[in-house]
Chains A and B, each alone.
Chain A
């Protein structure tokens, strides 16, 4: 019961946030220098033509009315038309989103599998060498420019060693699996196509590592901090006084309790990864939204850039909402107190 109340409140908050996002993107799109009507008409068009286009685009209406039209469009899923591809932005994003999501999910898995043990070790052996090493590693991850890291990995693992391919989602000689989820790894398994699966896995490895590497540090830091908090709690002392071994107390009690508040960091990590995808996809020629938006930026395709911003913001808010709800579900204290 209390849970439902919380859900309702958060959904209300979600609506407010989406509204806020739409205002922000609206404001930004009006900061773009230059006259969109003139841009479309071309430099040689007469003023009458430009005025006509401006009227058609609704640009001669007062600002608040323009916003209403804009919001209305958004509610109907209309994100405008891409200047570069000529297709509706919404359609473009739907086409390229799965590739990015797949990359982000694998990167997140990698970051978690590497970051959590690192964080635990850091906390348990605080101030010992392993703590310093792991913190140095974590900081390096956060400080490494993702685009540079990707290039170095390509140079080493593709250029020198030839272990991994240098770009793309799948080998160009193979046919991609039929699109059920849009995730090559999943779709190829569903199709039973082993060759596709292996090729997709090999292609996703380097980009995922590059993308995830940055977040190993963030996750490790969060786990370390949460673990340190838990290890100071009285129940740890009780457990040890009851004869439970250190390993059992750390892994069986402290870590699960530390993971609960750490779940919220996953939401932030997701936002980081979405942004990181922008840089990583460019380097690895990964046909996802990041690649799309960079190309759009370079082509000054503002509807596409704004569309990307809105979609990513919305996804970010949704993920954070899901994460918050998961946290509520995991911690028995909060569900009860409501």
Chain B
């Protein structure tokens, strides 16, 4: 089994040339910008509130719908809650949703896709037919329908978004698996008796990982957008949860005079989604052979 053991150890292959990485990054400033933006958001949303003593639910009827000021950087809402604080705390929910959704959909999708590709035969056919059927409905509409069917709650919204995204990963990984299955070293490993699990570990780690990482990064942004959209319609987070989409929805009634109510939470969504898209696009360019610089 020694041959299989060494084949299934991906660490032997992943060597990172930091100098080359820095060179590529310098030519793609947006990627770095995206990364910094994400770090900024994560810090602001998860770390900063630990140090400031602020309460997102603190009601202050005397300062209702106040414009942005030094006391309330983003203004206040209709019961006087500080919107800046709510945006920070809401960020935990929105970003948490993003990561959770991607974790679930990418995780399951990758496993299903890899197994389907490696086991092959009728398992592969059945799985792909199911995925095709799911993908035949425009994903956004399907998410809407699913979320509506399951009932309005943040949990159901996350589930709906995650489920609908799974086929994309299944296809991605299965495609990679099929190509790699025919390659020399995988065939050799099979001859030595490697079972599907070992084969799966090998190609996922070494070869299928980069496109998955790119897709996952982009999906985090999309999941955040989708979750906030569902909340806006009323299918996701329910008020008084300080989720960004729900805040924009409530702020809608005050948009003409108190623009900050919808303005800032929405801007937070935009900022975060932009960050993940920059990073995801940049990663995609890094691994795209067409972009390999001379």
Contact = CB atoms under 8 A, between A and B. Distances in A.
B194 to A, nearest CB: 35
Interface string B261-291: 0110111011001101110010000000010
Interface residues of B, number: 50
B234 A298 contact: yes
A297 B141 CA distance: 12
B133 A23 contact: yes
A227 interface: no
B138 interface: yes
B274 A143 contact: yes
B150 interface: yes
Interface string B244-269: 01001101100111010011011101
Contacts of B259: 152, 155, 159
B145 interface: yes
B125 to A, nearest CB: 14
Contacts of B266: 145, 147-149, 151-152
Nearest to B152: A297
Contacts of B251: 151
B255 A155 contact: yes
Contacts of B146: 28, 31
Interface of B is mostly: helix
A275 B234 contact: no
A132 B149 contact: no
A222 to B, nearest CB: 13
Given A24-B137, A148-B262, A309 B142 contact: yes
Interface of A: 17, 20-21, 23-25, 28-29, 31-33, 127, 132, 135-136, 139-140, 142-149, 151-152, 154-155, 158-159, 228-229, 232, 271-272, 274-275, 278-279, 282-283, 293-294, 297-298, 302, 305-306, 308-309, 312-313, 316-317
B142 A24 contact: yes
Interface of A is mostly: helix
A142 B151 CA distance: 28
Nearest to B274: A143
Interface in B211-226: 221, 225
Nearest to B261: A151
Interface of B: 27, 29-30, 132-134, 136-138, 140-142, 144-146, 148-151, 221, 225, 228-229, 232-235, 245, 248-249, 251-252, 255-257, 259, 262-263, 265-267, 269-270, 273-274, 276-278, 281, 290
Nearest to B29: A132
A275 B269 contact: no
A148 to B, nearest CB: 3
A317 B132 CA distance: 13
A312 to B, nearest CB: 5
Contacts of B137: 21, 24-25, 309, 313, 316
Contacts of A272: 138, 140
A142 B269 CA distance: 12
B144 A278 contact: yes
Contacts of A317: 136
Contacts of B145: 25, 28, 305-306, 308-309
A32 B149 contact: yes
Contact of B141 (A132, A274, A282): A274
A313 B30 contact: no
15 contacts: A21-B137, A24-B134, A28-B142, A28-B149, A33-B151, A135-B30, A145-B225, A145-B266, A145-B269, A147-B232, A147-B249, A274-B138, A302-B148, A313-B136, A316-B141
Contacts of B141: 271, 274-275, 308-309, 312-313, 316
